[in-house]
Amino acid sequence: MTILDSALQCARNNQEAHLEELQRFLAIPSISTLTAHKPDVEHAARWLADQLKSMDIDNVEVMPTGGHPIVYGEWLRAEGKPVVLVYGHYDVQPADPLDEWETPPFEPTVRGDELYARGVADMKGQIFALLKAVGALHQQGPLPVNLKFLIEGEEEVGSPHLGEFIDAHREKLDCDAVLNCDAGILTPEQPSITYALRGLAYFELEVRGPSKDLHSGLFGGVVHNPAQALCELLAGMHDDQGRVTLPGFYDKVRDLGDEERAVLAQDPTTDQDWLQNTGAPALWGEAGYTATERVGARPTLDVNGLISGFTGEGSKTVLPAKALAKISMRLVADQNSADVHQQLLAYLRKNAPKTITWEVRELVHGDGAIMNRNAPAIRVAAEALEAVFGAAPVFKREGGSIPVVALLQQKLGVDTVMLGFSLPTSGIHGPNEKLHLPCFFRGIETYIRFLTGIAHHKP
């Protein structure tokens, strides 16, 4: 038996134990955006460090940052072999709306072929699968490839300290390729590889009118209702073609050429699939592009949250003093988030009436990235997927944002291969997030094949 075959066999023999251990990892509510969960985030970091140590990874450290810590570790004993930097994150999104979960978000539960828990698909399930792949290889002898681990705890808040961490540890992180496990495939039958990601610029917009909440009868009709004014400003941010109206928003957007449109057209996801995966009554978006193009290759603007006035049970006749929106833009190459911040301010300066005051607070920003589809690591990943899933992967651009990909490209000059196993139906960031267990187990095998495959390439 080759090392590959025996490692695959080993992974298959341990599926039940892996599922149990993953549930313990998922039970840690490592929500990075809520300060009350800081101890849980640290707990998750230590849990990962212990995993690495148990596989004889060297120099394992839980390294402090200005925010949540980074878990580092390395295996550099495969002489003459490439160095792969494994990237992942152990933090998760908040779990609300809590009352829409069928089982509690931090009590992982199997129903049918699915494992339900906050963070199971984004991305504790996948970083755990990668660790189990390394573990299966480790049981066969020395690892066949050099590895570095960079597992952060602030991805869900936009990786605010990752850039300075990479700057401070440039040599330590030096590598030939990055394996980023924070990714997905199209369906359990149709694997895919993401070669581009959107950037993110996330803001809070607060509109203020009267100095305090007023009685809507005694003052209604005298002052500009801040909730109404906020709605007017937000409504004006799209035109009737679904285009974003911030001045200059599309100026730097890289056009989709015919060749790339043809590649993206191989994605078998139809409008009917998009409709089914969202459950919306109809699709919507920028005119002139397919749904798949819009979500991967076009910038967008979404309202992520709205709050103003009285929102409890029953009625309260209040004219609110203020109204707040969380809004975010998804950016594509070659936009950058600092420009978009200025475009938002310019829009508000031009359109906000003098009857209210407003303030913008930037919460998160990160640039998008696009990779060479023919790089060796991407080809090895494609072969691994085809061997495990029995189908060649399609190439796609993803709508989500993973700031580290752009950071590593800009700071280390290294391209990333995105290889992960969530599905469009996994419900990440929403209630009842789930991971398809057959994909999870195939994921471990794919990682084993990737790590043995990349070892055959020259550094």
- Contacts of a copy of itself in 45-74 (CB under 8 A): none
Residue choice 126, 140, 159, 225 for contact with a copy of itself (CB under 8 A): 225
416 binds a copy of itself (CB under 8 A): no
Stretch that binds a copy of itself, among 50-58, 272-280, 335-343, 449-457 (CB under 8 A): 272-280
- Among 14, 328, 395, 357, smallest CA distance to 190 is for 395
207 binds a copy of itself (CB under 8 A): no
DSSP 366-430: E--EE--TT-HHHHHHHHHHHHHHSSPPEEEEESS--HHHHHHHHHH---EEE---B-GGG-TTS
256 binds a copy of itself (CB under 8 A): no
Residue choice 1, 2, 16, 35 for contact with a copy of itself (CB under 8 A): 35
- Among 435, 451, 446, smallest CA distance to 19 is for 435
> Least Å distance between CB 263 and a copy of itself?
19
Residue choice 84, 130, 356, 448 for contact with a copy of itself (CB under 8 A): 356
129 binds a copy of itself (CB under 8 A): no
The burial class, CB within 10 Å (0-12 / 13-18 / 19+), for 286 is middle
Q: For tokens 């911040």, name the residue.
A: 341
231 binds a copy of itself (CB under 8 A): yes
State the Cα–Cα distance between residues 296 and 260, nearest whole angstrom.
12
> Nearer to a copy of itself by C-beta: 406 or 428?
428
H or E stretch covering 330 = strand 322-331
> Least Å distance between CB 372 and a copy of itself?
22
Residue choice 61, 213, 339, 386 for contact with a copy of itself (CB under 8 A): 213
State the Cα–Cα distance between residues 402 and 420, nearest whole angstrom.
13
> Nearer to a copy of itself by C-beta: 137 or 214?
214
> Nearer to a copy of itself by C-beta: 10 or 186?
186
Residue pair 200/349 in contact (Cβ under 8 Å)? The answer is no
| Residues of span 419-458 touching a copy of itself by CB under 8 A | 424, 427-432
> Least Å distance between CB 61 and a copy of itself?
27
> Nearer to a copy of itself by C-beta: 198 or 449?
198
> Least Å distance between CB 210 and a copy of itself?
4
> Least Å distance between CB 423 and a copy of itself?
11
State the Cα–Cα distance between residues 81 and 218, nearest whole angstrom.
76
The burial class, CB within 10 Å (0-12 / 13-18 / 19+), for 19 is middle
100 binds a copy of itself (CB under 8 A): yes
- Among 196, 182, 171, 163, smallest CA distance to 410 is for 163
| Residues of span 166-205 touching a copy of itself by CB under 8 A | 198, 200, 202
Q: For tokens 């899933």, name the residue.
A: 389
> Nearer to a copy of itself by C-beta: 110 or 234?
234
> Least Å distance between CB 80 and a copy of itself?
39
Residue pair 401/330 in contact (Cβ under 8 Å)? The answer is yes
206 binds a copy of itself (CB under 8 A): no
Query: Could you tell me the two tokens for 243?
Result: 């285009």
The burial class, CB within 10 Å (0-12 / 13-18 / 19+), for 409 is middle
360 binds a copy of itself (CB under 8 A): no
Residue pair 210/319 in contact (Cβ under 8 Å)? The answer is yes
Measured from the Cβ of residue 387, the count of other Cβ atoms closer than 10 Å reads 15
Site size toward a copy of itself (CB under 8 A) is: 102
Cα distances (angstroms) measured from residue 322 to each of 217, 233, 307, 318, 349: 17, 14, 9, 11, 18
> Nearer to a copy of itself by C-beta: 81 or 322?
322
| Residues of span 130-169 touching a copy of itself by CB under 8 A | 157-158
336 binds a copy of itself (CB under 8 A): no
| Residues of span 296-315 touching a copy of itself by CB under 8 A | 298, 300-315
Residue choice 49, 55, 323, 444 for contact with a copy of itself (CB under 8 A): 323
Q: Is 79 helix (H, G, I), strand (E, B) or coil?
A: coil
- Among 123, 253, 248, 200, smallest CA distance to 368 is for 200
| Residues of span 275-294 touching a copy of itself by CB under 8 A | 277-286, 291, 294
> Least Å distance between CB 399 and a copy of itself?
5
Measured from the Cβ of residue 277, the count of other Cβ atoms closer than 10 Å reads 13
Reported residue count of the chain is 459
364 binds a copy of itself (CB under 8 A): yes
> Nearer to a copy of itself by C-beta: 18 or 198?
198
272 binds a copy of itself (CB under 8 A): no
State the Cα–Cα distance between residues 52 and 316, nearest whole angstrom.
55
| Residues of span 369-408 touching a copy of itself by CB under 8 A | 398-401
